[in-house]
Amino acid sequence: MKRQDDEKLYQDALGKIDVLKLYDTYYDDIFRYVLNRTGDVEMSRDITADVFFKVYRHRWKYVFTSAPVSAWLYRIAGNEVVSAHRNTTRRPLLLDGELQHSDVVPVALRGDLQEEIQQAQEQVNRNAAFQRVNQQLKKLPSKYQEVIVLRYLEEKSIKEIALLLGKREGTVKSLISRGISQLKRISFTEKDFFAQNGLLVEARTNEGVN
């Protein structure tokens, strides 16, 4: 783990999950993970908010174990991504529903938030390598998507992935291996398709790494 995942850091006075501490620590990680899975900035923002909202709603049920707290977050996030893919229409933000009963005043105008989302989405769209990978990943089963994203896009070690997903390291290695194989097969098929249609796919080799 890049940061200390000491469970005591995330407990409140009652020994339960301190949602705000978790949020401050893991928001960026979860958001990036979801974005890597979906490629959609706005959806990623909503799903990330939903993850922490669910943590907040179910914080009384969480039992601290030897697994890191972040594993719980990644698991919720993974489920939310799958759920979002199943639903063609984007779901409303659950947190907004909760806030109907409160008098919270957003710190930034919605226009500012949308502008930030648009800028981030443009940034994502400019990364052609990401776009290709994202399209190919979506053709894989979810179990391969999550290990490949964590391994290659999140740069986590096999051990970390095993902890986060609650799987054995051998299983993770196997999943990554099979996932990459499938990804290569999809890529090869696409390459043939592009070649048959006279498109230069080699251009990708000239794209810089961000």
Residues making contact with other proteins (CB under 8 A):
19-20, 23-24, 27-28, 31-32, 35-36, 41, 45, 48-49, 52-53, 56, 95-96, 98-99, 101-104, 106-108, 112-113, 116-117, 120, 123-124, 127, 129-130, 132-134, 136, 148, 152-153, 155, 180, 183-184, 187, 191, 201, 204-205, 207-210
Question: Partners of 17 in the beta sheet?
Answer: 11
Q: At what angle do helices 169-196 and 158-165 cross, to 10 degrees?
A: 100
Distance of closest approach, residue 24 Cβ to other proteins, in angstroms: 7
For other proteins, give the closer residue by CB, 67 or 95: 95
Cβ at position 81, least distance to other proteins in Å: 15
In whole angstroms, the minimum distance from the beta carbon of 161 to other proteins comes to: 15
**What totals of helices (H) and strands (E) does the chain contain, helices first?**
9, 0
For residue 106, give both structure tokens: 């957003």
- C-beta of 199: minimal distance to other proteins in Å? 14
Closer CB to other proteins, 66 or 109, in the complex: 109
Of 153, 152, 128, 137, the closest CA to residue 208 belongs to 128
Q: Which residues pair with 11 in a beta bridge?
A: 17
User: What is each CA distance from 28 to 17, 150, 157, 177, in whole angstroms?
Assistant: 18, 14, 18, 27
**CB nearer to other proteins: pick between 27 and 64:** 27
6 or 207, CB closer to other proteins?
Answer: 207
Least distance to other proteins, CB of residue 113, Å? 5
84/69 Cα distance (integer angstroms):
23
SS3 category, 11:
strand
Nearer to other proteins, 49 or 76 (CB): 49
